[in-house]
Structure 1
Amino acid sequence: MTTVAASRPASYWLIAVFALLWNLLGVAMFCMQFMATPEQIAAMPPETRQVREALPDWVQVAYAVAVFGGVLGGIGLLLRKRWAATFFLVSLVGLVAQCLGTFLLTPAWSAMGPSGLVLPIVLVAIAWFLLSYARRAAARGWLS
């Protein structure tokens, strides 16, 4: 008798581990930014400081939602739970809000120009992939 677990390809587990590690890296970056000391902030390039000082608090909240939602999504994939897709959706929404807030409400565009969009585009593409993958995994019966 074939089980659902046996029908999961090895790539499922690789993607699940990647999802968790990727989002844990995001949590580490969030913590570094959130806990930066005044000395560390003073050592930043002036453009980076200007962007940081102009960020509304809700953009930081969106950042937290993005990374912690992604961690929960990664855990959900590893536990083979349907709710993984929900948390990846929450993560994507938080990420898009963070990116829009950063580029629309701060001098990020003048500080970084078009090249500043590369990282946000890559981040959104990865978040979209993880959401899509979790939805496909649920549709294939890999998640309960």
Structure 2
Amino acid sequence: MNTPPKWFKPVAIAAFIWNLLGCLAYLSDVMLTPEDIAAMSEAEQALYAARPAWAVGGTAIAVWGGALGCLGLILRKSWANLVLMLSLAGVVVQDIALFGMSNAAAMAGPVVYVMQGVVLLVAIGLVLLSRKALKLGWIS
């Protein structure tokens, strides 16, 4: 195994924290109480109730896979690449549901496009980083 550059571990740690924040957001979403849902507007309640299980599952795979994959990068494990590819697939599934299957994105406003764009770019970047790390022997 080759020694990675000095920036590798700090980047992996920052990405791990980023994905942990995604895990917290996911948990806060799936753990909404009936009171929380009742406080939403009618339109938001309808969107929340209409979300397909596969979309919620895609989000779970995206955030938990991202966190696990980044932990793999920190530990310099080759399986991080596969897990980060699964995480990217989860992001794509989430985006298909968000942008293609409902008007949730339109309701949330332009910030959702920026945020999901950043999420997608980070997921792609992590897959590319893990591939490079595998190729150069930084992880094994």
TM-score by length of 2: 0.91
Q: Which blocks of at least 5 consecutive residues in structure 1 are unaligned?
A: none
Residues 17-68 of structure 1: per-residue CA shift (max 9 Å, x gap): 0121111111111110000101112223444333222211110111111111
Q: Matches of 2:46 and 2:107 in 1, distance apart?
A: 9
Letter of the 1:84 counterpart: A
* 1:1-144 equivalent positions in 2, closer than 5 A: 4-5=2-3, 8-144=4-140
Count of residue pairs the alignment pairs up: 140
Contact 2:2 2:136 in 1 (8 A): no
Q: Which blocks of at least 5 consecutive residues in structure 2 are unaligned?
A: none
Contact 1:26 1:67 in 2 (8 A): yes
Contact 1:70 1:91 in 2 (8 A): yes
Contact 1:55 1:105 in 2 (8 A): no
Q: Matches of 1:109 and 1:79 in 2, distance apart?
A: 36
Letter of the 1:51 counterpart: L
TM-score by length of 1: 0.88
Contact 2:65 2:87 in 1 (8 A): yes
Contact 1:50 1:107 in 2 (8 A): no
CA RMSD of aligned residues (A): 1.7
SS in 2 for 1:10: coil
